[in-house]
Chain A
């Protein structure tokens, strides 16, 4: 069934099934009007290329990829990250699969209790609106479907690495650009790639980026929160 949703502030028309429909339910809208984004699922094509994936997974991945590709038209991009909200700011922890993004944000929930909530555990949408970056929950939020249908100003982005000790530092330069680019969707289309790189340039100007080596001890959450929220500064 074709439905209208409001996702990342945009009217989205999508015809879907399975887990995608379930995860998208909180985003259903009663509004009417022309959609900003129409999602065309290509799950059959995807399944031809990746026969080991189920129909349901192909639908989820294909609709997500269609959404995030079109999001670029609205000054928005995907960052592969686990995003946690605390005190009205979103903190995004990004890393390649299997590094422990979700593990780290779970530590925030453990340490800070109800003050912290997961905004999106896998693919938050970032949008540049009136000169500031906001993070949004979306239906494409990972295996465990943890997401909030809200918009939150971005407080910082942190690239995670596993380490023995917990250590966080500001991150910039070529490697920071590379790591952010590696965790978003690259377009094969030059005009869209140009848009993405322009948006990334503004993102790196406006949003503080950090690099952290972390272990799985709850103190890791305290270390990242203290640095990224600025609460360890005396001023």
Chain B
């Protein structure tokens, strides 16, 4: 788009602000100075921020402790279950071998006796 020099001159031509321009400006300035300063806007919850942070921290701590305790309980139950299975297996093997040895000894003791009796 091309502007000619006449266009620019017309656009930048001085214009009269009208009667009482200076008074209106001064009146606005005076009004701004005399108006009481508004307090800075603060949202209500921002005032409670430290308390909220503390409550949130305690809540997180409690939740963490509860979750940790539950996880520890689950892990302990798993360890206990495994230990129980191993204990039962150990007793089973011990029982089987113990009885096996006893049985062998018993057989040794009874067989010659039967043979003696048959003689």
Say if A and B assemble together.
Answer: no
B residues with a Cβ closer than 8 A to A are none
